[in-house]
């Protein structure tokens, strides 16, 4: 697998839930949004690949785009309890943790409990080990990103402001040495095409207001993804959104499990149509097997014909799982 670190050249606005509220924005990019954008970029550069089969089975699996600060990759906080020796005074601080460093994440994957007194809390809900902070002392007071709101006004086609047309638009800004990274599982024979498509996506932008300059990025760094793999790991932790397919045995996957759920919806590119909602497992979920997932056709042909929708594709969304091995967390027990 390869890891791509992205340097954002402008602010970012991603509302991947499709809430329709401009003052709401995610602070990272979910895998289905990223995969759909990559598929479109790929089809522009390599139109011979852009058939129905390509969109229903892209030649890559990618994680969600998580933050990094400096040289430290951050991973989503696992959904189960990972802390030990927690006193009442620390509980509020623990609830605010959203991102853990790679060193902490690797310990969690090996089944170890983390002593909250042995980690350092940074801004934006980030925790690092003291060893990592000692190796990167500049990160102690470092704020990797922030979100702000910009006031805007609604105008009609003549440029006349509507009554009550003021609203706020959320923007995310990254510090110079921060950004988002993604992990890609792709065959070496298609790596050059993937790299070109990602670079093209950076030039085109991702998220809202791309034509106004938002969401543009460059590839800062590309490396092999290296992570300590625990021995005798029978389970897995997802690094992408996951919706089970026919090849998934849910009874086995959920025999011992801890998971989060999210409802995915939103708008279809280059149309005024919205996608129907779908429930998926979130990043950081644990399964007692290896999840596979599926690509879901949100608007298949029979639905489009029945509702007379002017759309020439099925609006597929990629919920195939990208995961890392993990031993059974000590606080989880088999369900009856």
Most confident of 29-33, 138-142, 327-331: 29-33
Among the candidates 178, 203, 224, a domain finishes at: 224
Q: How far apart are CA 334 and CA 207, in angstroms?
A: 40
Which residues lie closer than 8 Å to 176 by C-beta, 6 or more apart? none
pLDDT at 128 > cutoff 80: yes
- Residue 147 sits in the same domain as residue 62: yes
Looking at the domain assignment, is residue 76 inside a domain?
no
Cα–Cα distance for residue pair 310/87, rounded to 1 Å:
58
- Domain endpoint, select from 192, 224, 256: 224
Top-confidence residue, 265 or 75: 75
Confidence of residue 164 (pLDDT cuts 50, 70, 90): low
Instruction: State residue 68's pLDDT score.
Output: 95
* Weakest mean pLDDT among 3-17, 254-268, 285-299, 309-323: 309-323
Of 46, 3, 79, 59, the C-alpha closest to 258 is 79
Burial class of residue 141 (count of CB atoms within 10 Å of its CB; 0-12, 13-18, 19+): exposed
| pLDDT (mean) for 199-205 | 93
Number of domains in the chain: 2
Are both 57 and 150 inside the same structural domain?
Answer: yes
**Same domain, residue pair 156 and 209:** yes
Kindly state whether residues 32 and 168 are assigned to the same domain: yes
More confident residue, 158 or 236: 236
Residue 72 Rama label (left phi>0; alpha psi -120 to 50; beta): beta
The residue among 95 and 246 whose pLDDT is bigger is 246
State percent of the chain over pLDDT 70. Answer: 88
> Tell me, what's the pLDDT at 81?
86
Residues 177 and 253 in one domain: no
Of 141-145, 244-248, 330-334, highest mean pLDDT: 244-248
Q: Do both 145 and 283 map to the same domain? A: no
Give the residues across from 61 on adjacent strands: 185
Claim to verify: residue 164 and residue 46 sit in the same structural domain = yes
Confidence band (pLDDT; 50, 70, 90) for 142? confident
pTM for this predicted structure: 0.87
Question: What is d(CA 334, CA 37) in angstroms, rounded to the nearest whole number?
Answer: 38
DSSP for 76-126, written as a single string? EPPSS--EES--HHHHHHHHT--EEEHHHHHHHHTT--EEGGGEEE-GGGE
Asked, for residue 19, whether it belongs to a domain, the answer is: yes
Residue 124 lies in a domain: no
Of 51 and 163, which is predicted with more confidence?
A: 51
Across residues 240-258, what is the average pLDDT? 92
Please, what is the end-to-end C-alpha distance for the chain in angstroms? 36
Per-residue pLDDT at 336:
42
Query: What pLDDT is recorded for position 30?
Result: 93
Task: Tell whether 161 and 273 lie within a shared domain.
Answer: no
In a domain, 110, yes or no: no
How crowded is the C-beta side of 155, counted as CA atoms within 13 Å? 7
User: How do residues 318-334 score in pLDDT, each as one tens digit?
Assistant: 999 999 999 998 877 65
Residue 96 forms part of a structural domain: no
Q: Give yes or no: residues 217 and 267 share one domain.
A: no
Residue 172 to residue 214: CA distance in whole angstroms? 10
pLDDT at residue 36 greater than cutoff 50: yes
| Per-residue pLDDT tens over the stretch 294-312 | 998 877 777 777 777 766 6
Pair (155, 242) in one structural domain: no
pLDDT surpassing 70 at residue 270: no
One domain for residues 286 and 148: no
Domain stop point among 224, 256, 288: 224
User: Both 160 and 285 in a single domain?
Assistant: no
Alpha-carbon torsion angle 43, 49, 51, 55, nearest 10: -60
Percentage, residues of the chain above pLDDT 90? 41
User: Does the structure show a pLDDT above 60 at 65?
Assistant: yes
Domain containing 35 equals 2-71+136-224
How much is the average pLDDT of 66-71?
93
């Amino acid at each position: 697998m390869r890891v791509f670190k992205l340097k954002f050249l402008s602010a970012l606005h991603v509302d991947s839930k499709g809430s329709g509220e401009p003052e709401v924005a995610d602070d990272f990019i979910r895998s289905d949004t990223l995969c759909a954008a990559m598929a479109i970029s790929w089809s522009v550069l390599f139109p011979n690949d852009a058939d129905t089969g390509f969109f229903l089975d892209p030649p890559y699996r990618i994680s969600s785009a998580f933050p990094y600060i400096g040289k430290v990759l951050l991973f989503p906080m696992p959904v189960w309890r990972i802390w030990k020796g927690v006193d009442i005074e620390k509980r509020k601080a623990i609830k605010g943790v959203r991102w853990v460093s790679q060193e902490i994440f690797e310990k969690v994957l090996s089944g170890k409990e983390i002593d909250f007194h042995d980690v350092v809390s940074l801004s934006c809900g980030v925790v690092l080990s003291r060893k990592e902070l000692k190796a990167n002392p500049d990160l102690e007071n470092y704020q990797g990103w922030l979100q702000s709101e910009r006031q805007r006004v609604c105008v009609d086609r003549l440029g006349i402001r509507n009554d009550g047309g003021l609203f706020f638009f959320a923007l995310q800004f990254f510090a110079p040495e921060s950004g988002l990274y993604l992990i890609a599982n792709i065959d070496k024979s298609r790596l050059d095409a993937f790299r070109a498509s990602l670079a093209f996506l950076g030039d085109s932008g991702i998220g809202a207001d791309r034509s106004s300059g938002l969401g543009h990025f460059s590839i800062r760094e590309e490396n092999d993804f290296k992570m300590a793999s625990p021995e005798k790991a029978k389970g897995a932790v997802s690094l992408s959104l996951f919706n089970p397919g026919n090849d998934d045995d849910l009874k086995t996957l959920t025999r011992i499990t801890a998971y989060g759920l999210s409802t995915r919806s939103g708008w279809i590119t280059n149309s005024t149509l919205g996608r129907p909602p779908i429930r998926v497992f979130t990043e950081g979920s644990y399964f007692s097997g290896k999840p596979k997932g599926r690509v879901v056709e949100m608007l298949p042909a029979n639905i489009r014909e029945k509702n007379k929708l002017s759309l020439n594709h099925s609006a597929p969304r990629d919920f195939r799982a990208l995961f890392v091995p993990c031993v059974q967390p000590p606080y989880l027990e088999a369900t009856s």
